[in-house]
Amino acid sequence: MAKRKMILDLDTGIDDSLAIAYALGAPDVDLIGIIGSYGNVVVEAGGQNSLKILELLGHTDIPVYLGESHSSTSDHFDRMQVSADIHGENGIGQVELPEPKRSIEKESGVDFLIEAAHKYGKDLTLVPTGPMTNLAAALKKAPEIANEIGNMTFMGGALTVPGNVTAYAEANINQDAEAANAVLTSPMHSTMVGLDVTLRTLLTKKETQQWRDLGTEAGEKFADIVDYYIQAYVDVNDNLGGCALHDPLAVGVALDPSFVTTIDLNMVVNYNKETYGRTIGDDNRLNEPTNVKVSVAVDKDRYLKTFMEYLTALFKKN
């Protein structure tokens, strides 16, 4: 049992599945639960995908909770077509996995997060890789957790590059900019792993072939899932030469901050019509102590080596 505990807050599509695998493969952390969110898929489908991935990887001991099903300012969620295009209609590259034996937990994901923050305190690492809605709701219900959670590293935002939904907005932040702003302007210390670094951290079919060559079910299924993702990237942006490891990079940075170079910057998130979802420095707090570190460069070769070591070892066993 590792001292460090981790909760993933996921809208489980393909890179979220890779984030689960990275957390399970890392030797220095215990994944104690997954909270479902909306985004790549609707929240219920994401929760089921998480259970399926956990079962594929031999970890039916880990509970999955559902969080909020829509943004903090709406009463419903409409999945974007681009999400279906990139992740497949089922969220995991159209790969069919068995219905999971374990069920979704009855307790809400927000309450689970609050209880875990109280229980584990500074030993708890939270990694949201979807909208910030669940975390914002938890902070509203229990503001004290902002100072209890030891490490909050999120995948989202774009500071030095354009967004991937609009010229300003990255997809996760765009889902609920008001919630993201509430989190980033709270006392919580956080690290942003945005498009600035994730678009430089790429996986190709050379790596997925290594998983196929293992001859295991997990290796074969993950190769199928990620090859779908790689092809989707070819269709959307042929210039990259692979698929971006958005969510697993956030998990990697949460466990080893030296993978990235950061700048200290108090952040705000715009939620006016013209620049909705823009993550930018807060000019009202430029000279105040900072609580956000923004990743602006990444040691991609060392990260990819670690990523492949962790996941390949995990897939060998399943």
Q: What does the mean pLDDT of the chain come to?
A: 94
How large is the average pLDDT for residues 262-286? Answer: 94
Gap between the Cα atoms of 258 and 262, Å rounded: 9
Q: Is 90 exceeded by the pLDDT of residue 1?
A: no
To which residue do tokens 């030891």 refer?
150
Q: Is 90 exceeded by the pLDDT of residue 82?
A: no
User: How do residues 142-153 score in pLDDT, each as one tens digit?
Assistant: 999 999 999 999
Residue 191's DSSP bridge partners are 153, 293
Q: What pLDDT is attached to residue 153?
A: 98
Q: What pLDDT is attached to residue 114?
A: 98
**What backbone phi and psi angles, to 5 degrees, belong to 156?**
165, 160
How large is the average pLDDT for residues 52-72? Answer: 96
Q: What pLDDT is attached to residue 237?
A: 66
Q: What pLDDT is attached to residue 14?
A: 94
Cite the active site residues. Answer: 11
CB 116 within 8 A of CB 7: yes
Say yes or no: domain 4-316 is CATH 3.90.740.10: no
Q: Is 80 exceeded by the pLDDT of residue 128?
A: yes
- Global pTM value: 0.96
Q: What pLDDT is attached to residue 241?
A: 72
**Of 88 and 19, the one with more pLDDT:** 19
